[in-house]
Every structure is written in structure tokens, then in C-alpha cells.
Chains A and B, each alone.
Chain A
Amino acid sequence: GAVVSQHPSRVICKSGTSVKIECRSLDFQATTMFWYRQFPKKSLMLMATSNEGSKATYEQGVEKDKFLINHASLTLSTLTVTSAHPEDSSFYICSARGGFDGYTFGSGTRLTVV
């Protein structure tokens, strides 16, 4: 079946630093990937949609300069949290369009900013 690998699964970074999260489709090409943020005990909120070879589309209220998205190939999208602050601590999940059931989710990344 379709697999989306998300790395790292957990990361702790210092306030003010940047951290990159990778989302990779392992056995299919994903022209479109989505990035979600999930607060504790809350639902998934779409942050942005990334299309291979073009600029990402950000949802209202999401700072595009803070959350940099790059989708340089058909199998890889990255989310970089720049100048991270404690309020950026959250669970981030990617989803790729493709695979058997149409969309496949990564296993998520727990970001803690200290």
C-alpha cells in the first residue's frame, strides 16, 4: 500500500532556531501534499497545500514566512518552522495525494520548542 514517511517523528529545538520536517511518498508520486497542525486533543487544521514545482498555498492566518514549504520533487515536501517559539510547539502531520485510498497521511512530527 501507499506509504508516506514523515521525519523526524519527534524534535526538540531551542527558541529562535529553525527546524525542518520532511514528508516523503515512498512508492508513489505526490503532486500535491498537505500540511496539518494538530493541537493537543484537537482536530487537524490545514496549514497549507503544496504543489510540486510551485509555491504553496497557505490557509488564512498561517504565516508563510514562518512556515516555509518546499515541494521540489514529486516525492518530497518539506516544512521548515523558522525562528521557532514555544507557541509553535505542536503536532504536525503531512498528507499526500496518491495511493490506494486517494490520500495517505504521514505518521506526524511532534515539535517541542524550549
Chain B
Amino acid sequence: AQTVTQSQPEMSVQEAETVTLSCTYDTSESDYYLFWYKQPPSRQMILVIRQEAYKQQNATENRFSVNFQKAAKSFSLKISDSQLGDAAMYFCAYRSIDNYGQNFVFGPGTRLSVLP
């Protein structure tokens, strides 16, 4: 079974600065998806970024980028130019690529605070 670990329960960053959230995972599969989801106080799960494991290029979405190290099974999220609206819980998630309808495996989450 796959597992996802986020070793930072809480992080804080100054507004306009850069912060990196860590995520490691364990799997025996060669192809899979990795995700970062944001959960603000509204509790709505919002997709931040997605990475396909078979793609070597790191995914980027505006101020959000990942550092995907497949051999090390590491998938960190970098948030540049942090904004107050980035404050939320961030969940790293894994999903198999093979099985139809496969569910997510979520990490325990990192609570990010953005300081003005």
C-alpha cells in the first residue's frame, strides 16, 4: 500500500517570501500521479498542482512549482511571492494511474501561515 508523509505539521512564511513544503511517499508502482491540494478555512479542497510521475519536467502553476525527485520519492511544493490568501492546510496526495476509479492517499497535511 502507498503512504504519503508530510514531516512539517506547521510552517510560516512572510508575505512576498518563498516557502517550500515537503512531501515524501512510498510506492512500488512506476507510474502514478502526485498532487498538492489546498484546504482553506472553508474546507473546500482546491487542486494546486499535479505531477505525472512519467514526466521528468517539474510541474508549475503560476507561483506554485514542485520539485519532483522520483528516485528519492520526494515531491515538495514551492510557493513564491506568498500571499495572505495562501494561508491554508496543504495536503500532498498520491494516486495510482492504473486502476480505474482509484482513490487518493493523502498525507497528514501542513498548516501554512502567511505573516503580513
Binding site for B on A (CB under 8 A): 31-32, 34, 38, 41-46, 49, 51, 91, 93, 95, 97, 101-103, 105, 107-108, 110
- Ordered by A's residue number, 15 sampled pairs between the chains whose C-beta atoms are within 8 Å are A31-B101, A42-B108, A43-B106, A43-B108, A44-B45, A44-B104, A44-B106, A46-B104, A49-B103, A93-B43, A95-B103, A97-B101, A107-B43, A107-B44, A110-B43
**Are A43 and B107 in contact (CB-based, < 8 A)?**
yes
Expressed in whole angstroms, the Cα–Cα distance for A22 and B100 within the complex equals 23
Interface size on B, residues (CB 8 A): 18
Of the candidates A51, A93, A110, which one forms a contact with B101 in the assembled complex, judged by CB atoms under 8 Å apart?
A51
Do A101 and B109 contact each other (CB < 8 Å), given the known contacts A43-B91, A51-B101, A91-B43?
A: no
Q: Which residue of B lies closest to A59 (CB)?
A: B103
Do A49 and B106 contact each other (CB < 8 Å), given the known contacts A91-B43, A101-B47?
A: no
Expressed in whole angstroms, the Cα–Cα distance for A51 and B45 within the complex equals 22
- The 7 A-B residue pairs with the shortest CB-CB distance, nearest first, are A32-B101, A105-B45, A108-B43, A43-B106, A43-B108, A44-B106, A107-B44
